[in-house]
A and B are shown apart, each in its own frame.
Chain A
Amino acid sequence: MSDSLLHVGTRKGLFVVDGPGAEASVVDAHFVGDNVNLTLTDRRDGTWYAVLDHGHFGTKLHRSSDHGASWEEIAVPEYPPKPDGFVDIDMWGREREWALGGIWALEVAPESPGGLWCGTTPGGLFRSDDRGEAWDLVDSLWNHEVRVRWNGGGLDQPAIHSICVDPRDPARVTVAVSSGGVWRTLDGGASWNPHTRGMVAGYVPPEQAEDPENQDPHCVVQSPTRPEVFWCQHHMGIWRSENDLESWVELKAKPSSFGFAVAVHPDDADTAWFVPSHSDQKRAPIDGSVVVNRTRDGGGEFTTLRAGLPQENAYDLVLRHALDIAADGEQLAFGSTTGNLWVTDDQGDRWHTVAHHLPPVYSVRYV
């Protein structure tokens, strides 16, 4: 398997890209016409997973055990019936439906051979131990007294979109919720605590600005080699924790700290990439220029990378799952809602256009 192999989930199918740097090209397509939100490769057994959202017909999960030669539909997480009398009113004043909306995170649970974690809307975290044949709701988080105060962020309902399994201990799992903060379990999901100290929300009254459930982390990643370091692209900007989530420190990047995606280097916790947009109010590149920000010193300084990227009349937005870094730490890829896809094989010093005419890109993931 090539270390350049890439899954690109889009509004109209799953596209497979291969080749390093300038040689990268689309080599295969699956589910053409269907909405593919997210993919996962379980590198232990090579299984591919794809999340399809059929709109009218709901969210489905498909699995391939032969690298895409064939796919089979597997189970999706299901919410339990709401207990009689349980009050769960959403921010719109409506009774929250306990039913699967979308799947927003899918990760391997390494302590179990077929283990998977799945983050969903309206805020449920699920676990499978049999490659997605069956799923169990993580009751401890769903039943946490604060969970009913999670709100929508982009969607009408809260989404668990980031799941970081700690390389030191797979029972330590961190999840991030739009909009509901950052939560961690140290005991395999039996209990959860919020970890948002230092984060500030500007979209609630000032006295609520530091409440954990009001934080809207757009994406959280954990350093594989210094797991006490986390990076967060938050709705309000960029935050970093280097003390194992005890606290977060805000970082300022130019030309903007607003965005959705973040990637951290696999071997260097101080090196991370962001794709900035103008602002919350104007979710488009600044002055029509697509850029990537890279820091190599833990966020002290950011270098704005432009080589190979369109610098005029470009209005691409890059969503939270649409940036990824390969295991070699040299190759990165990102795709936009305008259907452009770019890759680099030198950490972003120069970018190469893979495609201009893909459907809107939702996720980019190295296989």
Chain B
Amino acid sequence: MARVVFTRNLQRHVECPPVTVDAGTVADALNLVFAENPQLRGYVVDEQGSLRKHMVIFVDGEQIADRRGLTDAVPVDGEVYVMQALSGG
């Protein structure tokens, strides 16, 4: 099971504790989280499903490459960190 962790800055607006999901890609992982926590979706991605401009996601320490489709693979027991970028926002 992969673990998905959200930046603490987000917790101020929406409750989003770490969760474990069974997912092959970042998109799958996030969609499973959003299914349980619909309010969270709009804080992380826009209405087209793209990662918000000043958000970043790391999978096992590597920044994801596909910010639009979120197709980056998530290994079994991988760690997905949803963070805000230091720039902009």
* Chain A residues in the interface with B (C-beta under 8 A): 54-58, 60, 73, 76, 78-79, 81, 97-100
Contacts and interface: CB of A to CB of B under 8 A. Distances in A.
Interface of B: 9-10, 13, 39, 42-44, 46-48, 50, 52, 54-55, 84-85, 88-89
B89 A55 contact: yes
Contacts of A56: 9, 52, 54-55, 84-85, 88-89
A60 B12 CA distance: 14
Given A99-B47, A100-B46, A57 B52 contact: yes
A58 B42 contact: yes
Determine the main DSSP class of B at the interface with A: loop
Contact of A79 (B13, B42, B47, B84): B47
Contacts, number: 44
B39 A58 contact: no
The 6 closest A-B pairs by CB, nearest first: A55-B89, A56-B89, A78-B47, A99-B46, A57-B43, A56-B84
B75 to A, nearest CB: 27
Contact of A99 (B10, B43, B50): B50
Contact of B54 (A55, A81, A99): A55
Contacts of A97: 46, 48, 50
Contacts of A100: 46-47
A91 B85 CA distance: 26
Nearest to B83: A56
B46 A73 contact: no
B3 to A, nearest CB: 21
A58 B88 CA distance: 12
